[in-house]
Structure 1
Amino acid sequence: MNNTRNYDGLIFDLDGTLWDSTQTIADAWNAAASKFDFMDTGIHRDDIRRTAGMPYDAIYDKLFPSLNNEQREQLRAESGKLELAYLQKQGGILYPELEQTLKQLQTKYKLYIVSNCQSGYIEIFLKYNKLESYFTDIACFGDKRLPKGENIKQLVERNKLQQPVYIGDTQGDYDASVKAGTPFILAAYGFGEVDTEVESINSFAELQELI
């Protein structure tokens, strides 16, 4: 066990790091798509997985390039509304031993979440899983429409963290941590991978051993 880093804050990505909500989101987006005659293709959970970590608005640009701006905005608004409604009812799948691990980590570190999701998404994750008490602060793209790196940086500054680390599962998460000037740990069990050699964990519970 490496105890030389003395982290004072653990900042987590959400999707692919703390839980997998891709099926619920796909269900919600398909329900939204069915309301528009310009949508003739279905949305699969793999579509959600491969766009995980991207800013919320950019996901629609990538998945629906044939739509014009007005159509994309209509779909995004309806999908976003239904996504939150579906998540409130169905939630997602927590990674194994997540709450037990958070409970242990909380005895040593302050815990935070920074995600590229829409406003309200992190709050639903916390409420649905009854995890509010574990986290000190959160930030997301939807609040101020800031890139993840800037949200990490602002969270670090307002919480006066001296030695934080960001834990995420995609190249975008790693890039954001670099821009924010924070060390990075890869959640290798998640949705993506990183093209740089970094410290990694193969399960959420492994984080206790690493730090």
Structure 2
Amino acid sequence: MDNLNKQKDCNFNERDELKNIKSIIFDFDGTLHNTIKIYYPAFASGVEILREHGFAKDFDLNEKNVSKFLGEKPNFAYELIAKGSGKSLKEEVMKHVGKKMDENIKNGIGELYDDSIKVLDILSKNYDLYILSNCRESYLDLALKVYGIKKYFNKCFAAETFGFISKDEIIKKERHNIKEEIIFVGDRYHDMEAARKNKLISIFCTYGFGSMDEGKKANYKINSIGEILNIL
């Protein structure tokens, strides 16, 4: 009974803290955006280039393996699957994949998760909303324009703007411009670390591209973006 009461007290205290929330920071890929739709075909074409140069031959190209790279910095995948290749080749492939991703968005291949727009519309009426993504500026600007969701956000941060430093460092730099208290919503370990290191409440998106282990220390977990409305 004591343990049950402690759990109830903990839940109550967390719920009580939510009353003071003024701002919500969203990750983009894997949180609002089902990025694998545009990323897998783009990445697959990049792997073809690497294989033509003798690299990535042992990489098992499938959606599960490719999805692990989503939410990471752009060079992360190529450092793993193209070890030993020159910097110029990696940069060539990164640019190629980025260009293909942009083309896929423009061609209507990409999609937001179900209820993403509904959630943003509802939450924007009561909270300041932000995006913080480990991505290129041009990619984020294009996606926001194509999906028509830029209007919901007070500001959108692409890691490229900050030289691809970690998300927790970006929050530290920009926190003075964001109303307290703040919640961070994301699907990868670095989202949860950004929240932890800045002492923010965290919501882990189990439907995204991170493993369940990455979200084990989150304050809340949601199985769809729509479930955030049950928390806030």
Q: TM-score, normalised by structure 2?
A: 0.80
Question: Aligned partners of 1:90 and 1:113: how far apart in 2?
Answer: 22
CA separation in 2, counterparts of 1:30 and 1:10?
34
Q: Equivalents in 1 of 2:96, 2:230: separation in Å?
A: 42
Deviation at 1:210, TM superposition (A): 0.4
- In the TM superposition, 1:9-48 aligns within 5 A as 9-35=23-49, 37-38=52-53, 41=57, 43-48=61-66
Q: Which residue in 1 is equivalent to 2:177?
A: 158
RMSD in angstroms over aligned alpha carbons? 2.3
Structure-1 separation of matches of 2:161 and 2:62: 27
Q: How does 1:1-211 map to 2 (within 5 A)?
A: 2=15, 4-5=17-18, 6-35=20-49, 37-38=52-53, 41=57, 43-145=61-163, 146-159=165-178, 161-192=179-210, 193=212, 194-196=215-217, 198-211=219-232
2:136–2:158 CA contact under 8 A, matched in 1:
yes
Aligned residues: 210
Structure 1's 130 and 147: CA in aligned 2 closer, same or farther, altered over 3 A? same
* TM-score normalized with structure 1 length: 0.88
Q: Distance in 1 between matches of 2:56 and 2:76?
A: 20
In structure 2, distance between residues paired with 1:40 and 1:56: 16
The higher radius of gyration belongs to 2
* Alpha carbons 1:13, 1:167 under 8 Å: kept: yes
Secondary structure of residue in 2 paired with 1:20: coil
Higher RCO (C-alpha under 8 Å, 6+ residues apart): 1
Letter in 2 for 1:190: G
How far did residue 90 of structure 1 move?
A: 2.7
Q: Could you report, residue by residue, the CA deviation over 1:15-65 in whole angstroms, capped at 9, with x for unpaired residues?
A: 111011213112123334445631565843323311222222223212333
Deviation of residue 131 (structure 1)?
A: 0.8
